[in-house]
Structure 1
Amino acid sequence: MNELTNLFGGFSLKEDENEFINYSYFDFFKNPNKLPINNVFIERVRTEVDKSAVGSWNVVESKGKKKECISIKKEVIPALHESWLPEYIPTFEYQEYNLTASEEDNIWFLENNKNYVFFLEYLIKCTYHQFWCSILFKEEVQNGLREFLSHPIPAYFYKELGEDFQKVYKSVFNAFYMVYRRLIFCNESEFEYMPKSLAAKYLIDRKLLNLQIAVTVTHLYQDFDKDLINELSEIYFSCEGQEKFIQKEVENILKHYNVVLQMIKGKLTGKFDPGITVVPISLEDRPKVFSLAWINSVVNYLLNTICSLNALFLLRKEAITEALTLKVPEKLCKSYDSIFKELYDLLEDRQEMLEESSLFEKIMTKLALARAKFVDTFNSFISFLLNETISRMENTKNQQEYLEMFLDIMTAALEYEIFICDFDCIHSIAQIVETFEDVSQIDKTRAHYIITSLNNLERHVFVKEKFNVVATFKNHIPKLIPIEESTTDNLNETSSTVNDEAILEDKIISILGIFPHLGGGFIEKCLENYNYDTDQVVQAILEENLPPHLYDLPFDLPRIPPEPEPPKPILAYKGKKPDYDDALDMLDDKKEKDKMKVLVMEGIKYNNRYNNSDDEYDDRDDLLEPDFVVEHEVEKYEKPNEDDLVSDTSYSENEFDEEGKAVEKNKTGFKPFCEDPAVVRARYEAKFGARRGKSNVVGKPKGQGQEKTVVNARQKKNVQKSSRANHNRKGGSQFKRNRGMIPS
């Protein structure tokens, strides 16, 4: 867009490059008191002939009574009155240029618009008084200005015009700018001016100013004259008594742009989102046969829509707040992914790209511009939230609302991989988050999640590696990341070729099952055209939407399978040639014999602490050491809790010795050859003593160790027991079953 000035040139009210036009100007306006023009009244003198006094004008001349029959009248008329208009004003209509037609069909554009430039130059050169009288009281002047505002040619379409058409339109574009600037800047001098509110009222009443016209003017001249856009915004949005109407108008136009984007998506994909009311737009339905001209019309419509939305946010910053409530940022991301993905899918590997290369290049250029406009429009929301956050640095509580909006918008945008990666290429999200962290207390966990999620996207890595920031919107970026083929040997290549041939054969057979009247060769050509996607081939055949070059082929074209490739030589080994010739030679290799011997010998450990022939040898040294080792001195004298021992069912009463230590019965130690007799006697005494039991306790051996009170209590309980059951158990059980209960 920075090249627009080079296309149309600069503007200045003091410059006059047009040829002199022979028409007269009437300057009756005098304002010595420096009043606004709406408060100025001008005295006009006119003569009238009294026809009742004489019969005809000839009689008056013959009799010399001319002075007696003519009366002079003076009247005071407001400066803004239709009586001050000249008898003739050169008004002409603007001729629209049809972008879908050829230059021969647009020949009237040249002839009619030369006259239209003549009309605009009249409005530029006439006096301030005559200019406003023409605007207010000449309907043909109003219609001529509105005609251009309804059908302008934006700068991105200007390059598609021929040289003669560009020259004529450049004159129209420049002249209209001068006229509309004179309308908006209504104060030309201290003698010629009017209040801005009054000028806005006049323009709104004559339908020369409304929200759509303001957006159109901003779209056309935003890169030439920022002062014009600022003044236009001020006089329109500051109209007294129009605040609610303007707010409603902004809301309606935002909804309109949202509906248009949804309709474009529906026209492309053939599917509309559930719950969406289909609204007719000036865009034809998708043709059954691929048409590059239809794609061009879709791109033009899309580009006009997003540029107008971007111009609205530039014209009025408060419209961003309304757009945030309508969730416009998320809808932009969704439209971006769905629309551009579908467009690139349609344009990928098309034969028309070569046949109509010039049109294809124009489409790709406008697609890149449309993507850039989507990104700039989304960035206007981020910039607005950042500015609001910075302006509230003194009060962190007031910042939270805008911080939450920012985090919600970025989190929602992460769901649309194509858009968020393209946005990050132009406006670094990491730097944006860092700026928010510097000026506010943003939730760092959510901010870190946004950066991490972005860096983990496969498309993000692909775009960063393959494209720079400038080339992001100038290249036909594929929808999927191409998988890099790994280097394989000739054997793998041969097997993959066989597998691909088998997969292709399966796809052809599956399609033949649906369309048995088609030939295998024709189906193979269709698969090649649709990147071997069977679903797209079946859909295209059913909808009769095949490319034109496929219709030239016979439908029953047979398929000739490719000839098998001859076997390719295979390398027996890689790298340095080994020293052995075959497997036997390799197994008979004795090079590692000495190393293996040393390794085995190092693994053998000797234990010759005692010599068996020594007289002082004692076989008790060969006894195994106990597994239980007391690690602390306290544990030697610490007895286990008797309650724990009783409750532990893993031990019986004979598994502990007198000191309370566990006795491991299953473990058999080493029995010496000659055991000490004292040890044997002690062991047998303990064994027989355990059988006899203790004599100083009550009861049988099984109950030994119990207190006497326990025995008395048990005996008392046995005495009180009944000799029979206290109820009929069988009868009670049957009683419960009859009533649906479960007996215990």
Structure 2
Amino acid sequence: MPALPLDELQVSETDPTTGKLHSFPALHPIRTAERFFVLYRTPPKANIPALVEEFLERAQFIAQDLDWLLALPHDKFWCQVIFDETLQKCLDSYVSLAPRRFDELVDSPPAVTRMQERLQRSVFLVFLRMSTHKESRLFHSTERRPVHESCNLLWIHHNGMWSEDISQDNFITPSVFGEILYNNFLFDIPKILDLCVLFGKGNTALLNKMIENIFMQQPSYYSDLEETVPTVLQVFNNILGECGLQEEGASCEPQRLEEKIRVTPSEMPLQELKDIVLYLCDTCTTLWAFLDVFPPASQIFQKHSFLSRLAAFYELMVPELESAIKKGKFEDRSLQMAMWRRLSHSRRKMMEISHIIINQTCLQPILERSNENIHTFVEAFLEIFTTLLQERRFIKDYDEMFPVDEDISLLQQASSAIDETRTAYILKGVESAWDGAVRHKTSVSKRIELRTSPDGAAAQLTSNGPQPPSYSLQDDDHCPGASAARPSSFLTGVELDSLVTQVKDLLPDLGEGFVLACLEEYNCNVEQVINNLLEDRLSPALQKLDRDMPRQVKSEPSSLLASRANVFQDDEFDVFSRDSIDTSRVWKGRRRAEDSKQFLNDRSVVAEQRERYQQYSVIVEEVPIEEGTGQMFKDDYEDEYDDTYDGNQVGANDADSDDELISRRPFTIPQVLRTRGQVEQDDRQEDEEDEPEEEGVKPDNFVQDPALLRERAEARRMTFLARKGFRHDSSSAVVGTSRGQGQSKDTVQERRKKEANKSARGNHNRRSMADRKRNKGMIPS
């Protein structure tokens, strides 16, 4: 006979007061043990002995109670879980208050660290046991065997149930199990999100089995998740509202008079800016952890256009926060670096969230060939990226971490009917988003690692001027806190020397240059450098370096005074290159004991120039050649000389005399350099040249002959008319003599010309047209 499930099982127990045997369900409040579970509190930030002792005592109580709970049999365990409210409050307090990996790290004592690890393991095992309706006998066995190296678990989950000697006595009806989880709030969506971010690292497979089993046994969690997505989107809107920004399309209500004026991140107080950065980091990390553990939830997120809303939030928020952190006035430099690192961590997680959603909704179904209608998923992919192209910063960062061209190439291989115009448009839009930025292509091996690992790389934006350290998003997958190591390029000389000394104290054979290269590669994490050196797990770039490489001495940059250049460069007044100058030659305004008349009468400069120009007037006609020198001008033949035109007699046939060809122009002294006597002599010579030669006596034409004037005027008129093309008027020849006396030949000729050409004037060709009509028979003769 098969065993009954726990929800149908009846147990019989004897009443200690009456001694009677009572029968009641196995899941009953009366079977709950009286045990009070204390609430969890975070470890103290200050290493004060009293606070540390208080934390250890409280944590010890919680750890003992959880160990007692895990040792209970199946029925007693579920009675305690369902009906003990203090247990649920204890678990909720730990899930909500336990330190995340991106919280500020504190140098806690070893006892606190060990106790925190113990609580972490116990809480995870309790939730792990609560998430299955079938369990092995190992749960109530006194034997403890670790089987999972990363989390030191006691049990292995296999195909929705616990393997290794499954007992048919320990199970719950699946439908009843789902109702127990849902009605008693043993699991809800916020709690599942916290479980993913707390226990996701190293336990992804186990958490995936847990959440799949919970959603499978209780489908109502899907509807809860769908109602949670608008709340997550509202979180992003709240962050924008607190920063004085507003997403496009969001509803804007009028601001109330008594409401606090919202300022931009650059104008915020430091504490408020820090809270916003931490809140954003917590939100992004939690969402990424949940989607990484449970990828099927991506379908529900995308139903609410989560990607487009996330990209719009990224485009508005990230530049403002980056500017506020860079330009903010931080007294504590480590706080600025911690905020910058958390912002970089948030940016990377938003990129990975987007990639998980795109991969699950579009790419994964195509790769698995789960649906023959691949065109639907291809169309969804193209529609998503067409919408995201307007967010240039988001698409650029996404393309640097997960290249879009590779995804499009995958689609082209999977479907031959893909729209090439749309794909070309998307690729062109991605390339235009890179305008003005330096593109860093990831190597093929790194891209393969990104595709296989969810903790891939992301881009770090560059900017000019002093800024916080550009933490590479390709390092660790979680943000360590403010105590994380800084890059060597941001450390001072003393701090960097101290890190080099720490490495060389343990490994003295290494050169300082090689140690510096290792520190730069691993972000100045001394422990990681030493560990990789001892285990010989250095990166390929470091393995190629010489381990005895010395430290390179950086040359001091030249000073500004040594590199400047001005109008006084290297002259007698250059005070930067001369120790002393002649101050007597330097004055301000008018010289001492000097007036304008004395300055104008100073002709010393003219006298100096006169001697120079007088040397130009000395012309040597023949240069004496001494014996033994200058033979090249006399008899020697110069090979470079061109004698092509030596036989031509240039100017021999000209009418000019040879005096004009060989004579030189007399030298002329400039006007300003001439003496008074030379000026007067030149003036007299010019006057003599200007005097005209005496000619014969000219007639007095005061009154000219009028007839001569008329003839000249008529000649000028005829010349003007001839130039204009007018002919001589022959009207007198046309008139001729009286009738009966006969006409001259010129008259007859002129009359004939007039008759033939009279249509060119005012007659308008009437005569010729009349003759034409008569010839055609139109007019009777």
TM (normalized to structure 2)?
A: 0.50
Where 1:76 maps in the other structure, the secondary structure is strand
- Give the aligned partner of residue 202 of structure 1: 180
Where 1:39 maps in the other structure, the secondary structure is coil
The RMSD of aligned alpha carbons is 4.5
- Give the aligned partner of residue 391 of structure 2: 416
Contact 1:117/1:175 (8 A) holds in 2: yes
Q: State the shift of 1:594 in Å.
A: 11
Identity %: 18
Q: State the shift of 1:296 in Å.
A: 2.8
Q: How does 1:192-341 map to 2 (within 5 A)?
A: 192-239=170-217, 243=220, 246-269=221-244, 275-276=251-252, 291-314=269-292, 316-341=294-319
Whether 2:96 is the aligned partner of 1:156: answer no
Distance 1:707 1:76 in 2: 148
Higher Rg: 2
Contact 2:247/2:316 (8 A) holds in 1: no
Q: Out of 63, 67, 73, which is 1:117 matched to?
A: 63
Q: How does 1:58-69 map to 2 (within 5 A)?
A: none
- Give the aligned partner of residue 182 of structure 1: 129
Q: How does 1:671-686 map to 2 (within 5 A)?
A: none
Where 1:38 maps in the other structure, the secondary structure is coil
Distance 2:38 2:775 in 1: 132
Q: How does 1:260-659 map to 2 (within 5 A)?
A: 260-269=235-244, 275-276=251-252, 291-314=269-292, 316-352=294-330, 355-384=331-360, 385-390=362-367, 395=372, 398-440=373-415, 441-458=417-434, 461-464=437-440, 477-478=462-463, 567=567, 569=569
Q: State the shift of 1:116 in Å.
A: 1.7
Q: State the shift of 1:335 in Å.
A: 1.4
Q: Measured at CA, do residues 234 and 475 of structure 1 come closer, stay the same or move farther in structure 2, by a change above 3 Å?
A: closer
Q: Which amino acid aligns with 2:119?
A: V
Distance 1:178 1:393 in 2: 35
Distance 2:395 2:318 in 1: 13
Q: State the shift of 1:266 in Å.
A: 2.6
Per-residue CA deviation, residues 657-699 of structure 1 (Å, 9 max, x unaligned), is xxxxxxxxxxxxxxxxxxxxxxxxxxxxxx9999899xxxxx9
Q: Measured at CA, do residues 447 and 296 of structure 1 come closer, stay the same or move farther in structure 2, by a change above 3 Å?
A: same
Q: Which amino acid aligns with 1:120?
A: L
Distance 2:266 2:216 in 1: 50
TM (normalized to structure 1)?
A: 0.52
Q: How does 1:97-112 map to 2 (within 5 A)?
A: 108-112=54-58
Distance 1:95 1:691 in 2: 128
Q: Measured at CA, do residues 330 and 279 of structure 1 come closer, stay the same or move farther in structure 2, by a change above 3 Å?
A: farther
Q: State the shift of 1:316 in Å.
A: 5.0
Where 1:419 maps in the other structure, the secondary structure is helix
Contact 2:245/2:316 (8 A) holds in 1: no
Q: Measured at CA, do residues 102 and 700 of structure 1 come closer, stay the same or move farther in structure 2, by a change above 3 Å?
A: farther
Q: Measured at CA, do residues 41 and 351 of structure 1 come closer, stay the same or move farther in structure 2, by a change above 3 Å?
A: same
Contact 1:262/1:272 (8 A) holds in 2: yes
Contact 1:393/1:439 (8 A) holds in 2: no
Q: Which amino acid aligns with 1:306?
A: C
Q: Measured at CA, do residues 228 and 207 of structure 1 come closer, stay the same or move farther in structure 2, by a change above 3 Å?
A: same
Where 1:192 maps in the other structure, the secondary structure is strand
Distance 1:279 1:403 in 2: 44
Distance 1:76 1:235 in 2: 32
- Give the aligned partner of residue 171 of structure 1: 118
Where 1:157 maps in the other structure, the secondary structure is coil
Distance 2:776 2:222 in 1: 97
Q: State the shift of 1:455 in Å.
A: 2.3
Distance 1:321 1:131 in 2: 35
Distance 2:95 2:22 in 1: 39
Q: State the shift of 1:566 in Å.
A: 5.2
- Give the aligned partner of residue 577 of structure 2: none
Distance 2:776 2:228 in 1: 99
How many aligned positions are there? Answer: 452
Distance 1:570 1:263 in 2: 64
Q: Measured at CA, do residues 47 and 321 of structure 1 come closer, stay the same or move farther in structure 2, by a change above 3 Å?
A: closer
Q: Measured at CA, do residues 250 and 159 of structure 1 come closer, stay the same or move farther in structure 2, by a change above 3 Å?
A: same
Q: State the shift of 1:357 in Å.
A: 2.6
Q: Which amino acid aligns with 1:128?
A: H
Q: Which amino acid aligns with 2:347?
A: R
Q: Which amino acid aligns with 2:308?
A: E
Q: State the shift of 1:374 in Å.
A: 0.4
Where 2:23 maps in the other structure, the secondary structure is strand
Contact 2:401/2:459 (8 A) holds in 1: no
Per-residue CA deviation, residues 324-350 of structure 1 (Å, 9 max, x unaligned), is 342211121121122221111012144
Q: State the shift of 1:94 in Å.
A: 1.4
Distance 1:123 1:412 in 2: 52
Per-residue CA deviation, residues 340-392 of structure 1 (Å, 9 max, x unaligned), is 2111101214442xx42332332222222211110011112221211234456
- Give the aligned partner of residue 133 of structure 1: 79
- Give the aligned partner of residue 14 of structure 2: 45
- Give the aligned partner of residue 657 of structure 1: none
Distance 1:433 1:287 in 2: 37
Whether 2:21 is the aligned partner of 1:74: answer yes
Distance 2:126 2:409 in 1: 46
Per-residue CA deviation, residues 481-514 of structure 1 (Å, 9 max, x unaligned), is 99xxxxxxxxxxxxxxxxxxxxxxxxxxxxxxxx
Q: Measured at CA, do residues 272 and 420 of structure 1 come closer, stay the same or move farther in structure 2, by a change above 3 Å?
A: closer
Distance 1:709 1:403 in 2: 88
Contact 2:131/2:214 (8 A) holds in 1: no
Q: State the shift of 1:400 in Å.
A: 3.7
Distance 1:445 1:323 in 2: 29
Contact 1:214/1:232 (8 A) holds in 2: no
> Which range is displaced more, 107-116 or 445-454?
107-116
Can you give the 5+ residue segments of structure 1 that lack an aligned partner in the other structure? Answer: 1-31, 50-71, 483-563, 572-592, 599-686, 694-698, 716-744
Can you give the 5+ residue segments of structure 2 that lack an aligned partner in the other structure? Answer: 137-166, 257-261, 451-455, 468-563, 572-639, 646-752, 760-765
Distance 1:231 1:279 in 2: 47
Contact 1:369/1:473 (8 A) holds in 2: no
Q: Which amino acid aligns with 1:249?
A: D
Per-residue CA deviation, residues 525-553 of structure 1 (Å, 9 max, x unaligned), is xxxxxxxxxxxxxxxxxxxxxxxxxxxxx
Q: Measured at CA, do residues 594 and 94 of structure 1 come closer, stay the same or move farther in structure 2, by a change above 3 Å?
A: farther
Distance 1:366 1:480 in 2: 21
Distance 2:314 2:777 in 1: 89
Q: State the shift of 1:177 in Å.
A: 0.5
Distance 1:359 1:325 in 2: 39
Distance 2:291 2:326 in 1: 34
Distance 2:298 2:755 in 1: 101
Contact 2:400/2:441 (8 A) holds in 1: no
Q: Which amino acid aligns with 1:324?
A: Q
Distance 1:277 1:92 in 2: 44
Contact 1:417/1:459 (8 A) holds in 2: no
Q: Measured at CA, do residues 187 and 460 of structure 1 come closer, stay the same or move farther in structure 2, by a change above 3 Å?
A: farther
Distance 2:281 2:79 in 1: 38
